[in-house]
Amino acid sequence: MGIRFRPVTFKKRIILIFLVSILTPFVCLGFLSFYTIDSIIDNKVESTIQGRLKQDLLTLENTLNNLNHVSQQLAIGGRIPALIERLHQTDQPYERVELFNEIKSELNVITFSNPNIGLLLFYYPDTGAVQFENFRVRTPFAPERLSIMASYPEITYYGPHRSYNDSINQYVFSTMRQVNVAGRNVYLYIETGRNALETLFAPQNRKSDSRRLLILDNDGMIAFSENREVFPESTRFPAYDAEALSDSGYYGNFFWSKETSNQGWSIVSILPQNELNLERNRWLWQFTGFTVVVLLIAVFFAWLLRKMVYKPLDKFNKEIKSLILSHAPEETELTRIPEFDYTLYQIRSMKRKIWNLYEEIEQKERRRADLEVEKLLYQINPHFLMNTLDTVHWLAVMNGQKEIDRVVLSLNKLLYYNLGKKGETSTIGDEIQALKEYLQLQQIRYDFRFDVDIDVDELALSLPSPRFILQPLVENALYHGVSDDGYIYVGIRLRDDRLEIEVRDNGAGMSRETIDKLLHDDANESEKVGMGIGMRYVRRILKAHYGDKARLEIESGHDRGTTVMLSLPASGGDLDA
């Protein structure tokens, strides 16, 4: 038999996870810190600074290589130089506009695909004009005034210097390359983007450490300095000649480290000597204080977590258990935490709604069952009657009795529809067709003539409808006084999201008492006579399918006829389910 362990409670799991999540990174940080301190003690600070400097050099080289790559795309071969040459050769305004737009489009594609590219423009040194710039240029634009970091026959690198992009005030690197355009002295000028070198230079990023950077050109001249007091720009780096082959050393009160690029320029990191020990001691004090604070915070949050999370969850557990008890006493106690109190309120509200819905469903199912019985009673359900009528139909056909054939055929179609053999739901179009069969029978049955006008919106024909709701309304019109010269109007309209049905006659009308009985009387079927059965069926079927979303109204008066109005949701209510 295997050993079974007792399940760990949720409270213990929360505390365990919390402590592990707090202490694990702290312990890892402690080990890493002690390793770093040991490295400092073992005089490895130089290798750390050198590694960081190599990363800076790599970042800078990648940025300048990207500038070089883009400048080659735009200045040597390709479509841009050819388009610029055509632009200068043509005098046709339309062609110049087309060429100008095409050049801008090509430049937009290149700059969009290179997010580290900032200001880009074509410079004409003979006139000092700029063209095709992608940002507004700060004037005066004078690249000849910039400090050269590295210069080669085909390309020149500048920087760092203040950007000529008028929308930013940052230090950037830039490059300039002559464009291959016949007969024109054109140069391509490109700067690094807004955030391409944001981690390197202190004046723009407000560095909190004391490390500063210098940029040396190919001859060892300082092209850029973050410490201009000791290492002014446009001067030779003091240790360049004496220790040209060395990558690090000391000058005055500074420790310096140098990395040289493949192109000949160098990046130098300078750090005050006293910062080496000062930083270590400061870190030790900070780490000790941080350790104490973290432990106190961990204890406090462990206590707070139990108070604010576990106890409210216990209340949720009680509320969920009470969901299965319909008559359980309702809890009113709160947690005094707004989010949890709101959730408790939602759970309690959900509980009330669930049981109210359960009772409503039970009542609705009982009503639906009673309604089906009523429907069977009202529709005269025996199937043998349809079979018999079918036999009578063929006998009438065989004996040439066309009128009898027509009557029997209409009756058979009407019974077939009302018996629901096509399914429980129907459409307005089906209801209209059944109504026409019913009216054809009534025209033969009664010894007086009456006209029926059916006006239906075509958009409403395909809408879902309960089966057998139009016939009782029209039968109500016949029942309440239509005689010779009688007129019945059936109108169906789709207005917004409502289906409006109107059945109007010009008969003798009904009293208010009769209308109230048709709308509100719920007497047993055995006590009902005349049209009350059909109207009661209509009221019940509307209530079952639409609830309170359906409206049934009757307007009538002595010698003023009767109007029955139905308003149903066009969506179909429960019919769509």
Domain ranges, ordered by start, for the chain = 32-272, 451-569
206: left (phi over 0), alpha (psi -120 to 50) or beta: left
pLDDT value of position 529: 45
Q: Other CB atoms closer than 10 Å to residue 466's CB: what's the count?
A: 24
Q: Could you give the CA distance from residue 132 to residue 123 in angstroms, rounded to a whole number?
A: 9
Q: Specify the amino acid at residue 78.
A: G
pLDDT value of position 91: 85
Q: Do domains 32-272 and 451-569 have the same CATH topology?
A: no
Beta pairing class for 148-151 and 156-162? antiparallel
Angle at 11 between CA 8 and CA 16, to 5 degrees: 75
Largest CA distance in the chain: 133
Helix axes of 79-89 and 45-75: crossing angle, nearest 10 degrees: 40
Which residue positions in the chain have pLDDT lower than 50? 1, 202, 204-206, 380-381, 421-423, 524-530, 577
Domain 32-272 has CATH 3.30.450.20: yes
Q: How far is CA 157 from CA 119, 120, 278, 555, in A?
A: 15, 14, 38, 93
Q: Is 422 helix (H, G, I), strand (E, B) or coil?
A: coil
pLDDT value of position 525: 46
pLDDT value of position 456: 92
Across-strand partners of 490?
454, 503
Burial zone of 477 (CB within 10 Å; 0-12 exposed, 13-18 middle, 19+ buried)? buried
pLDDT value of position 206: 47
pLDDT value of position 123: 92
pLDDT value of position 24: 78
The long-range contacts involving 78-86, CB below 8 angstroms and separated by at least 24 positions, are 79/106, 80/106, 80/107, 80/179, 81/179, 81/180, 81/181, 84/122, 84/179, 84/181, 84/184, 84/186, 85/181, 85/182, 85/183, 85/184
pLDDT value of position 387: 58
Taking only the tens place, the pLDDT of each residue in 363-382 is 877 777 666 656 655 554 45
**8 Å CB contact between 69 and 111:** no
pLDDT value of position 471: 85
Class of domain 451-569: alpha beta
pLDDT value of position 381: 46
pLDDT value of position 449: 72
pLDDT value of position 344: 67
Sign (positive or negative) of CA dihedral 523, 526, 529, 534: positive
